[in-house]
Amino acid sequence: MTEFNITILGSNSAIFNHGRHPTAQVVNINNACFLVDCGEGTQERLYENKIKWFKIDHIFISHLHGDHYFGLIGLLTTFNLLKRTNKLTVFGPKELKKIIDIQLKVSNTKMNYELKFVATKDDEKRLLLDLPECSVYSIPLHHKLPTTGFLFAEKTEPRLLDLEKIRKYAIAKTDFKLLKQGLDVLDKDGRKVKNSAVTTKGKTPRSYAFCSDTMYHIPLVKAIKNVDLLYHEATFLHEDLQRAKETTHSTALQAAQIAKKANAKKLLLGHFSSRYIDLSVLENEAKTFFKNVELAIEGGVFKV
């Protein structure tokens, strides 16, 4: 089965604390790496977690609070110092380009590689990237600044040919493509062969949703319906609901509520407030409402 996993490089909120770093994670699908958010020090975390840097061709930035992007300029210029040549695309709020550009300009930095910016919008779910492995969508979140989450969805797999059964019918090889698409075909004698007689269902496409930062936001449910793995911020315990509302963040319980409503298979909690040294309190709270919960602990690799 194709590899599809998430490596957590950082999941603390706001500042470095208790040995925990600001948000960054790598989504690995079939050996293509996508970097999601890039807090300060992400390049060091990539190194520590043995991620092959040059496999990253796409970076997604959720919003412009510093704990989600202050490491970006350092990573982009380090790529340059290391003589990267392959194109890199950065998806993020439109002001991000200006911030990077001014820093490249004052240092007279000429990039060896093509650096492309794609501005995200937080108005509706939008397709950002369409690759053979997967599609990546932005998802509107509800936070103090314009913020999007990201949904990584494997492509719908073609139906699988059952070669043994196919041999019983005289089907032209040129029709195999139609069978994979789920269509019925005719055999060499002109008799109809039902698709289900010679194919089986392809692999069920999997999906991963990154949702940080956001307050409890019901419209999100529709955008991530039936997701396999949901990373949802859980900055606070529910006893701090008022603080969560003021800062437009979520509680662990609310993250669990979103996971349940979305029919997610598994919930990964992250973006932990520094007020919690022992994070199990957040995990336990979420588990009171949703069974399959894990903490997005730094260095953890989570299969989708």
Cβ atoms of residues 54 and 86 within 8 Å: yes
Size of the site for its own copies (CB under 8 A): 30
Q: Which residues pair with 2 in a beta bridge?
A: none
**Smallest distance from its own copies to CB 220, Å:** 22
76 or 134: CB nearest its own copies: 76
CA angle in degrees (0–180, nearest 5) for 244-213-281: 55
Is residue 52 involved in binding its own copies (CB under 8 A)? no
CB proximity list for 278: less than 8 A, separation 6 or greater: none
For residue 23, give the DSSP letter: S
Is residue 40 involved in binding its own copies (CB under 8 A)? yes
Amino acid at 122: D
Q: Binder to its own copies among 16, 54, 169, 176 (CB under 8 A)?
A: 16
**Smallest distance from its own copies to CB 286, Å:** 25
Amino acid at 287: K
> Considering only residues 137-196, where is the footprint of its own copies by CB under 8 A?
144-145
Is residue 106 involved in binding its own copies (CB under 8 A)? yes
Q: Binder to its own copies among 6, 35, 61, 73 (CB under 8 A)?
A: 73
Q: Indicate if 240 belongs to the active site.
A: no
Distance between CA atoms of 85 and 141, rounded to whole angstroms? 34
Annotated active-site residue in 37, 57, 67, 101: 67
Is residue 14 involved in binding its own copies (CB under 8 A)? yes
| Closest by CA position to 138, among listed 94, 171, 169, 180 | 94
CB proximity list for 203: less than 8 A, separation 6 or greater: 1, 2, 157
Active site residues per annotation: 67
By CB under 8 A, name the binding residues for its own copies: 14-16, 40-41, 43-44, 47, 64-66, 70-71, 73-74, 77-78, 81-82, 93, 95, 98-99, 102-103, 106-108, 144-145
